[in-house]
């Protein structure tokens, strides 16, 4: 194969950046001289990705916020399409960000460029009619979860189940003592992890509630420590502003730059914003509570669209409520603190959760990087 294989990619937020970085590493083992470029985040750039725009540009939160940023995002998308038309890549890989990527993929596919989508949109949860739009847009879908391929096969859409790369990266057996040592946390201390999201808009919505919940937990567990991993300077500044606003700067809160896996491995229980972080919590066997808030307008638009009674990935994978969820108006500091505190002290519930999380981990551990590379390489060979 020629050493000039060029792969365009778009990832739209921190979770997509992580997934795409794993994918780049896997493809580089087969194609060491391949070029990767498009829209991506810091982990992709560390893997040698050339970002024309940062992934943060696409990381908006909820319908209302997406509408506010629509003009800028649409301009970026048109500009990228123009560049790719002028200088076509061997393939395009859209990593999540379906509203952005499917539009782009459909147009690239019509030009004969293989359009591969990594991470199935949640058609099993809401807006199932999108599957027809997806079929017109993609050359192949790469599905992370075992129940997804049948949905695409029923519509004759090429699909490959690849498992979830986090299940490969995260050890099945969690080294809690090692995580605490790396974070300089005493082995006997009560520890809560607070993960208010990777997007700035999520942190704006959730920081105050998380801090108020931490205050209540501190009353119940006076010696507790709170670990808050944040992914960027901007999200850290937003959380620190909330601490000052709520007069909580003297709380035993340790803000971490990254280190979410260590925080989840080290904690007795966690409070986690709905999203990929809930799957990370499950894979790290951390008892946790799932929560989410968005603008009132966005919530009104989507609350009746769901097909399932749960939103968190661990519950979706289990097909039942195994992790408590508190959304929007129910996501009060009182509710969250009570639920997280109960998880931290209920030995039997913690044991049962760990068993379910372990089974989930093994089912998702598929050697994803190699499976993805195997699914993509035929398209690259055909176009080289």
Residues 68 and 101 in one domain: yes
Domain range for 182 is 176-364
Burial class (CB in 10 A: 0-12, 13-18, 19+), 157: buried
Any domain includes 170? no
For residues 138 and 114, state if they share a domain. Answer: yes
Collect all residues with Cβ–Cβ distance below 8 Å to 195 and sequence separation of at least 6: 228, 229, 260, 263, 264, 270, 271, 272, 273, 277, 281
H-helix or E-strand spanning residue 269: strand 269-273
Q: In this structure, are 271 and 127 located in the same domain?
A: no
Answer yes or no: is 169 within a domain: no
pLDDT at 39: 94
pLDDT of residue 4: 78
pLDDT for the residue 2: 47
> Do 303 and 213 belong to one domain?
yes
Mean pLDDT by 10 residues, the chain (384 residues): 80 85 88 93 94 78 54 90 95 92 96 94 67 93 92 94 92 96 95 93 93 98 97 92 95 94 98 92 97 70 60 89 91 96 96 96 92 89 66
Among the listed residues 342, 352, 339, the one whose alpha carbon sits nearest the alpha carbon of residue 285: 352
The two tokens of residue 250 are 């003297």
Residue 168 located in a structural domain: no
203 plus 116 within the same structural domain: no
The pLDDT assigned to 14 comes to 78
Closest residue by Cα to residue 241 from 252, 231, 249, 230: 249
**Distance between CA atoms of 308 and 125, rounded to whole angstroms?**
6
Are residues 285 and 146 both part of a single domain? no
Q: 268: closest CA among 355, 377, 346?
A: 346
What CATH number corresponds to the domain at position 181? 3.40.50.2000
Residues 149 and 221 in one domain: no
For 339-380, give the secondary structure using H, E and C: HHHHHHHCHHHHHHHHHHHHHHHHHHCCCHHHHHHHHHHHHH
- Is residue 171 situated within a structural domain? no
CA–CA distance, 264 with 282 (Å, rounded to integer): 9
Q: First and final CA of the chain: distance in angstroms?
A: 7
- Whole-number Å distance between alpha carbons of 182 and 261: 11
Contact 333, 215 (CB under 8 A): yes
| C-beta of residue 253 within 8 angstroms of C-beta of residue 229 | no
Quick one: 196 and 298 in the same domain?
Answer: yes
pLDDT value, residue 102: 94
Could you tell me if 88 and 26 lie in one domain?
A: yes
Q: 31 and 140: one domain?
A: yes
Please count the structural domains in the chain: 2
Predicted pLDDT at 63 = 47
């Amino acid at each position: 194969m020629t050493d000039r294989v060029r792969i365009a990619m778009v990832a739209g937020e921190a979770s997509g950046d992580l997934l795409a970085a794993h994918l780049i590493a896997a493809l580089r083992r087969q194609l060491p001289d391949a070029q990767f470029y498009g829209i991506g985040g810091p982990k992709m750039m560390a893997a040698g990705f050339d970002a024309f725009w940062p992934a943060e540009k696409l990381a908006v939160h909820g319908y209302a916020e997406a509408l506010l940023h629509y003009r800028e995002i649409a301009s970026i998308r048109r500009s990228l399409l123009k560049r790719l038309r002028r200088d076509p890549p061997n393939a395009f890989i859209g990593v999540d960000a379906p509203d952005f990527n499917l539009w782009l993929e459909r147009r690239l596919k019509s030009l004969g460029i293989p359009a591969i989508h990594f991470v199935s949109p949640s058609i099993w949860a809401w807006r199932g009619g999108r599957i027809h739009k997806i079929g017109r847009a993609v050359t192949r879908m790469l599905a992370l979860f075992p129940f997804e391929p049948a949905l695409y096969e029923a519509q004759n859409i090429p699909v490959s189940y690849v498992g979830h790369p986090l299940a490969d990266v995260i050890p099945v057996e969690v080294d809690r003592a090692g995580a605490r040592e790396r974070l300089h946390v005493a082995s006997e201390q009560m520890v809560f992890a607070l993960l208010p999201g990777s997007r700035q808009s999520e942190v704006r919505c959730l920081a105050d509630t998380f801090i108020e919940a931490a205050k209540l937990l501190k009353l119940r567990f006076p010696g507790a420590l709170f670990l808050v991993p944040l992914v960027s300077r901007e999200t850290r500044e937003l959380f620190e502003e909330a601490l000052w606003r709520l007069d909580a700067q003297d709380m035993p809160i340790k803000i971490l730059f990254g280190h979410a896996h260590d925080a989840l491995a080290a904690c007795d229980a966690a409070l986690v914003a709905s999203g990929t972080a809930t799957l990370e919590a499950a894979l790290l066997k951390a008892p946790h509570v799932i929560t989410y808030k968005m603008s009132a307008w966005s919530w009104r638009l989507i609350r009746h669209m769901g097909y399932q009674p749960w939103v968190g990935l661990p519950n979706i994978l289990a097909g039942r409520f195994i992790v408590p969820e508190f959304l929007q108006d129910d996501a009060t500091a009182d509710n969250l603190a009570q639920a997280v505190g109960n998880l931290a002290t209920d030995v039997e519930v913690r044991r049962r959760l760990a068993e379910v999380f372990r089974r989930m981990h093994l089912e998702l551990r598929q050697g994803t990087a190699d499976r993805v590379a195997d699914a993509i390489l035929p398209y690259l060979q055909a176009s080289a």
